[in-house]
Amino acid sequence: MPQETCFPLDAGERFDPKRLSEKGGKASAAPWDDFPAVPSGKGPVKDAGLYIHVPFCLKKCPYCNFYSVKDLDRIPAYLKSLHLELAGIAPRWSDLFFDSVYFGGGTPSLLTPGEVEGVLDAILKHFRCRQDLEVTLEANPATVDANRLKAYRSAGINRLNIGIQSFSAAHLAFLGRVHTPTEAGAALEDAGRAGFEKIGIDLIYGLPGQTQRQWRKDLERATAHGPAHLSCYLLSFEPQTPLEARRRAGEIAPMPPGRQAGLFLDTAGYLEDRGYTHYEVSNFARKQEDAPGIHRSRHNQKYWNFSPYAGAGPAAHSFRENRRWWNINSLEAYLQAAAPGRPPMAGIEVLSTRQQQMEAVYLGLRRREGLDVKALERRFGLSFYAHTLETVRALKQEGWVSFTEKGFALTRRGMLFLDAVAGALIGCLP
Ligand code: SF4
């Protein structure tokens, strides 16, 4: 039985497929012929998602390790390369339908509505898209106003994810954000008036010295706007970020794990009480009786349930069946590489069965539905409980998992020990 030592920092991380890969690398010289054409035809046919990485920000936030640059004058060149890349990769995905597009970054709201519409037109032209395509744009409150949001809506964006992070001026300053609490509130109001029904808010908690009362205020302010979706991420100290450098220099101390755990449990309880389903460790969706799950992020769920996804733009990741590959994480190298006939790829990994099992257990446990044991058994041709039943029973006794119709899931308290539980289960598998 794992010890109660760890409130895993990953409990609050924004999902980043890079974290599942140890590898990086330089641009591949491979022509399109070597580009993963994939399908073996063995995997289940699921709709795919398309991720567009927009690598521009007004200013680099000190905690962030996502790839972005501040050279906004490079946006036209980036768009030109992006269009080439989309046209180039589309034939490789022509056997699948796409039901989600996600403009992430970076700060996608630095693209004008016209530029976003142009990219969307290209996607609709080159990829087979479902009629009810979910199209999300991440927006920074400092970059939008009422007119711009209306124009995004008209351009075809039907889901807006706003990076609020905090409603406290002091905490926004600590996080190095470029927006103010007033701008945050205005962006939410304007988004509603622009006709967005699906509005998501990103918040960060667990700042050094943050009190439960301060965090509660953020949650109160956020829920007062009635968003369809909330992502609450625990502040993490990523390698090679200025925030991590400050921690190393002893200038700031991370919140102790026990207090992080307290805020995590408080968040889950508070939002569940207000009609939100805690459907993934860091994500909450407003309940709607006549359409269960409608407010969950269709796109992000693909990362947790092994659906295929294509990525375009610098540093974007793609996944299909047992392969993950990623683009060059340098804008200038990307601009040179994304020419017709050359994929802007930096590397690829073929996941071993063991790696796939690890990811299936770890990502499955992040979700409210937990592990679908039958599906796991079918996929890996093993008898899951024959190897893990004793451990699962012990975890149940501890109150960390509960049985479901299809298998078992972490309880709210069990989510505090996600890493330890996943490790214990994986350790049991042959
Ligand atoms: S705006 Fe977002 S992507 Fe850009 S530096 Fe800040 S956290 Fe990172």
Q: Rounded to the nearest whole angstrom, what is the distance from the C-alpha of residue 68 to the centroid of ligand 1?
A: 8
**Are 132 and 91 in contact, with CB atoms under 8 Å apart?**
no
DSSP lists the bridge partners of residue 372 as 407
Sign of torsion over alpha carbons 355, 360, 361, 365:
positive
In this predicted structure, what is the pLDDT of residue 34? 54
> How many Cα atoms occupy the beta-carbon half-sphere of 137 within 13 Å?
30
In this predicted structure, what is the pLDDT of residue 45? 75
In this predicted structure, what is the pLDDT of residue 21? 39
Q: Rounded to the nearest whole angstrom, what is the distance from the C-alpha of residue 164 to the centroid of ligand 1?
A: 11
> How many Cα atoms occupy the beta-carbon half-sphere of 39 within 13 Å?
16
Q: Is 143 in the pocket of ligand 1 (CB under 6 A)?
A: no
Q: Indicate the average pLDDT of the chain.
A: 90
Q: Rounded to the nearest whole angstrom, what is the distance from the C-alpha of residue 238 to the centroid of ligand 1?
A: 13
The amino acid sitting at 13 is E
CA dist 293 and 211 (Å) reads: 32
**Are 137 and 115 in contact, with CB atoms under 8 Å apart?**
no
Q: Is 333 in the pocket of ligand 1 (CB under 6 A)?
A: no
Helix, strand, coil percentages (3-state) for the chain, rounded to 5, are 45, 20, 35
CA dist 296 and 134 (Å) reads: 11
Q: Is 165 in the pocket of ligand 1 (CB under 6 A)?
A: no
**Are 104 and 140 in contact, with CB atoms under 8 Å apart?**
no
In this predicted structure, what is the pLDDT of residue 27? 40
CA dist 336 and 218 (Å) reads: 43
Q: Rounded to the nearest whole angstrom, what is the distance from the C-alpha of residue 423 to the centroid of ligand 1?
A: 31
CA dist 195 and 191 (Å) reads: 7
Phi, psi (degrees; rounded to nearest 5) at 253: -120, 130
CA dist 16 and 65 (Å) reads: 10
- The CATH class given to the 353-430 domain equals mainly alpha
Residues 6+ away with beta carbon under 8 Å from 389? none
CA dist 264 and 141 (Å) reads: 25
Strand 276-280 to 283-286 pairing: antiparallel
List the Cα angle 23/27/29 in 5-degree steps: 120
**Are 287 and 229 in contact, with CB atoms under 8 Å apart?**
no
Residues in the chain: 430
Extents of the domains making up the chain: 15-304, 353-430
Q: Rounded to the nearest whole angstrom, what is the distance from the C-alpha of residue 14 to the centroid of ligand 1?
A: 12
Pocket of ligand 1, candidates 16, 54, 58, 61: which has the most ligand atoms within 8 Å of its Cβ, to mutate?
A: 61
Q: Which residue has the tokens 């889901």?
A: 159
Of 70, 29, 191, 54, residue with least CA distance to 111: 54
In this predicted structure, what is the pLDDT of residue 343? 81
CA dist 60 and 176 (Å) reads: 8
CATH 3.40.50.300 fits 15-304, yes or no: no
In this predicted structure, what is the pLDDT of residue 35? 58
The amino acid sitting at 232 is C
Residues 6+ away with beta carbon under 8 Å from 275? 286, 287
Q: Is 178 in the pocket of ligand 1 (CB under 6 A)?
A: no
In this predicted structure, what is the pLDDT of residue 31? 45
Q: How many other C-beta atoms lie within 10 A of the C-beta of residue 333?
A: 16
CA dist 386 and 393 (Å) reads: 12
Alpha helices in 26-131 (DSSP H): 75-89, 113-126
**Are 42 and 322 in contact, with CB atoms under 8 Å apart?**
no
In this predicted structure, what is the pLDDT of residue 321? 87
In this predicted structure, what is the pLDDT of residue 44? 54
Q: How many other C-beta atoms lie within 10 A of the C-beta of residue 54?
A: 27
Q: Rounded to the nearest whole angstrom, what is the distance from the C-alpha of residue 56 to the centroid of ligand 1?
A: 9
Of 199, 193, 79, 207, residue with least CA distance to 146: 193
Task: Tell me which residue has its CA closest to atom 2 in ligand 1.
Answer: 106
All residue ranges of the chain with pLDDT < 50 are 1-32
